Amino acid sequence: MKKFHDEGSISAEQLEGWTMIADGGRKLDGKTNAGMAEIAIGNLILFKTEQRDVLQKVVWDDVALAINSGKRLPVVGVGA
């Protein structure tokens, strides 16, 4: 993941999430909860960045633009 970060493919925040997951994975021993907190926090970081940086732009920004422009949005089951 560091290589992807160095190439600019992922952000520092995403690198932090992946690093936490990897660190937690190295601590797993099958007997205790060692490493689970790091994995959970790493997943949360990746989830937040995906929601903010991917879904927000791909899904919701277009909806907000349409709403703010006064355009009518198609609604499933309602005739145009």
Residue 77 lies in a domain: no
Q: Grade residue 78 by pLDDT with cuts at 50, 70 and 90.
A: low
Residue 79 lies in a domain: no
What is the rounded CA–CA span in Å between residue 55 and residue 74?
A: 20
| Residue whose token pair is 């205790």 | 32
Query: Tens of pLDDT along 25-73?
Result: 999 988 889 999 999 999 999 999 998 888 877 777 666 666 777 666 6
Higher pLDDT, 35 or 79: 35
Residue 1 tokens, joined: 């993941």
**pLDDT the model gives residue 69:** 73
Amino acid at 64: A
Domain count, the chain: 1
**pLDDT the model gives residue 14:** 95
Residue 31 tokens, joined: 């007997």
Residue 76 lies in a domain: no
Residue 60 lies in a domain: yes
Residue 80 lies in a domain: no
Residue 31 lies in a domain: yes
**pLDDT the model gives residue 17:** 97
Residue 78 lies in a domain: no
Residue 35 belongs to what domain range?
A: 2-68
